[in-house]
Amino acid sequence: MNIDSRIARLRSLDREHIWHPFTQMADWAKSDPLIITGASGCFLKDVRGGWYLDGVSSLWVNILGHRRREIDEAIKAQLGKVAHSTLLGMANEASSELAGKLAALVQKSFGAGRLTRIFFSDDGSTSVEVALKMAFQYWAHKGEKQRTLFISLENGYHGDTLGSVSVGGVDIFHSAFKPLLFRTGKAPSPYCYRCPLGLSRPGCGLECAAALERLVEANRDTVAGVVLEPMVQAAGGMIFFPAGYLKRVSEICNRHGVPFIADEVATGFGRTGKTFACEHEGVVPDILCLSKGLTGGYLPLAVTVANDKIYNAFLGGYEELKTFFHGHSYTGNPLACAAASAVLDIFDKEDIPGMAAPKAAILKNWLRDMETRQFVGEARGLGLMAGVELVADKETKKHFPWEQRVGWKVALKALEKGLFIRPLGNVIVIMPPLSVSQPNLERMLEVIAAAVSECAG
């Protein structure tokens, strides 16, 4: 088949049968998307043979590059044994091996004996669902069934299932489903550039954290847990916490005896410069959600890690019905666990956060420079995770009109220059694989800077 008819065939199969996520399909039908057929390192190859820098790490999951030899081999070796067997009623070698390695990594970051129990699921959303159900049922087992209120943040994102949407706070994604959601308490987002409380740093004294504490106090008898993305509200617009905020929230949770749930689905595995983002403020959650980077971006897998206090509350006689009634068909899938095991071996052998550090420094300098430019309101980041917020007017921080789709235009322009990125509205997201080379990172940043000046003007 010649190349043109091959492309036409793939294009029409996609157009006729696939409903793409987060995509207005009426627009999609008119578009000419890349059709990826291969990859190597930080590059994706399309059906025409063009190579594109994977500037979103294939939606934030690919931390070590594509076709990383050790991960490829681990999956192949596991395929030679068994692809899948269930964790309902039996154990499997791959999930046990992974659990041991993951417990060791988590201990290295959070201390021995703090976060000990690993519950497997399939993606970030389910890892959060599991955390919410665990925290709720933990209280029920302690005789406090009235504790049904979760407190989370405006601009938070925890996934797309209804439980995780309930604790989410991104209106554009979530408002359509409001009638289906359970009630939660929403604390203000620590979004200093556009402080929802109209305050400014450092004089504010972290009033946003105080507001969260008042919410906990006002609901002291019904709070089941506090859930947030530590250090950065990612999908909500790359909003980075002011220093001290995370620590304050953790202290509030400890003071009130409320489980602190850290959703590190996006930040885990070195993305922010530490293995886990909680480490930036020396904070230890009661429940930790991990997914995206866990398998190096190879296969869907997630874990919810709980401490002994939570776990022990579920122990009892069979007839007491204290069992955690949750699980999925593919819970603890051996192929995915083998991929994750290979990733953790790499973390053990190589200092992944340390190797990313010089690149994070390059990114930080670039952000500082970007912030001086016209139409850049704020350029912010931590580790190899950053956002450039474009504004129509720097003085007034006026947004570009939503319909103008400036972020989207920047992404299209970048694609012409060989870089794939995906913005969040008018926030340009910088999220390369942690393994990106310095020249490739520099190239990526040059392309974005050029695309911004061509599109925002």
- Tracing tokens 């190797």 back to the chain, one arrives at 355
Q: Does 98 bind ligand PLP (CB under 6 A)?
A: no
157 touches ligand PLP by CB under 6 A: yes
- β-bridge pairing 36-40 and 43-46: antiparallel
Across the strands, what pairs with 117?
A: 306
Least separation, in Å, of the C-beta of 337 and ligand PLP? 16
Q: How far apart are CA 36 and CA 432, in angstroms?
A: 18
Amino acid at 171: D
Residue 129 within binding range of ligand PLP, rule CB under 6 A: no
CB 58 to ligand PLP: min, Å: 12
Closest to ligand PLP by CB, 227 vs 313, is 227
* Comparison of 253 and 301: residue with beta carbon closer to ligand PLP: 301
Q: Is there binding between residue 270 and ligand PLP (CB under 6 A)?
A: no
Q: Which is nearer to ligand PLP, 157 or 400 (CB)?
A: 157
What does the alpha-carbon distance between residue 83 and residue 262 come to, in Å, rounded to a whole number? 31
Distances (CA, A) of 374 to 331, 392, 394, 407, 446: 49, 9, 7, 15, 16
Which x/- pattern over 186-225 shows residues binding ligand PLP (rule: CB under 6 A)? ----------------------------------------
Helices 207-218, 245-256: crossing angle, 10 deg rounding: 20
Q: Are strands 43-46 and 51-54 parallel, antiparallel or unpaired?
A: antiparallel
Q: Is 154 in the site for ligand PLP (CB under 6 A)?
A: no
Say if CB 447 and CB 414 are below 8 A apart: yes
Nearer to ligand PLP, 266 or 415 (CB): 266
Round to whole Å and give the CA distance between 145 and 231.
31
| Consecutive H or E run containing 379 | strand 376-382
Question: Which of 264, 215, 224 is CA-nearest to residue 102?
Answer: 264
Which of 128, 430 has the CB closer to ligand PLP? 128
Exposure letters 129-148 (e unless 16+ CB within 10 A, then b): bbbbbbbbbbbbbeeeeebe
Q: Does 229 bind ligand PLP (CB under 6 A)?
A: yes
174 is a contact residue toward ligand PLP (CB under 6 A): no
d(CA 59, CA 170): 18
Residue nearest to ligand PLP (CB): 124
> Which span sits near ligand PLP by CB under 6 A: 118-126, 134-142, 280-288, 435-443?
118-126
Q: How far is the CB of 369 from ligand PLP (least distance, A)?
A: 27
Q: Based on the shown chain and the rule CB under 6 A, indicate whether residue 235 belongs to the binding site for ligand PLP.
A: yes
- Quick one: which of 44, 212, 226, 265 contacts ligand PLP (CB under 6 A)? 265
Helix axes 406-416, 438-456, angle to 10 degrees: 130
Tell me whether residue 291 or residue 295 sits nearer to ligand PLP (CB atom): 291
Cα 251 from Cα 141, distance rounded (Å)? 24
Among 129, 154, 213, 263, binds ligand PLP (CB under 6 A): 263
Least Å distance, CB 339 to ligand PLP, is 15
Q: Which is nearer to ligand PLP, 102 or 234 (CB)?
A: 234
Q: Is 158 in the site for ligand PLP (CB under 6 A)?
A: yes
6 within 8 A of 47, measured Cβ to Cβ? yes
Residue 234 interacting with ligand PLP (CB under 6 A): yes
Q: Interface mask (CB under 6 A) for ligand PLP, residues 33-72, using x and -?
A: ----------------------------------------
Is 341 one of the binding residues for ligand PLP (CB under 6 A)? no
Assess 232 for contact with ligand PLP (CB under 6 A).
no
Q: Does 283 bind ligand PLP (CB under 6 A)?
A: no
Q: Name the minimum Å distance from CB 267 to ligand PLP.
A: 7
How would you list the strands of the sheet with 419-420, edge to edge?
36-40, 43-46, 51-54, 419-420
Of 159 and 432, nearer to ligand PLP (C-beta) is: 159
Span interacting with ligand PLP, options 98-106, 151-159, 332-340, 344-352, rule CB under 6 A: 151-159
CA distances from 92 to 131, 311, 331 (A): 23, 21, 11
Q: Is 431 in the site for ligand PLP (CB under 6 A)?
A: no
Size of the site for ligand PLP (CB under 6 A): 14
Instruction: For the chain, give the number of residues.
Output: 457
Q: Which stretch binds ligand PLP (CB under 6 A): 87-95, 184-192, 228-236, 381-389?
A: 228-236
> At a CB cut-off of 8 Å and minimum separation 6, what does 311 contact?
116, 117
Secondary element (H or E) of residue 29: helix 25-30
What Rg, from alpha-carbon coordinates, does the chain have?
22
Binding segment (CB under 6 A) for ligand PLP, from list 100-108, 110-118, 217-225, 262-270: 262-270
Binding site for ligand PLP (CB under 6 A): 123-125, 128, 157-159, 229, 234-235, 263, 265-266, 291
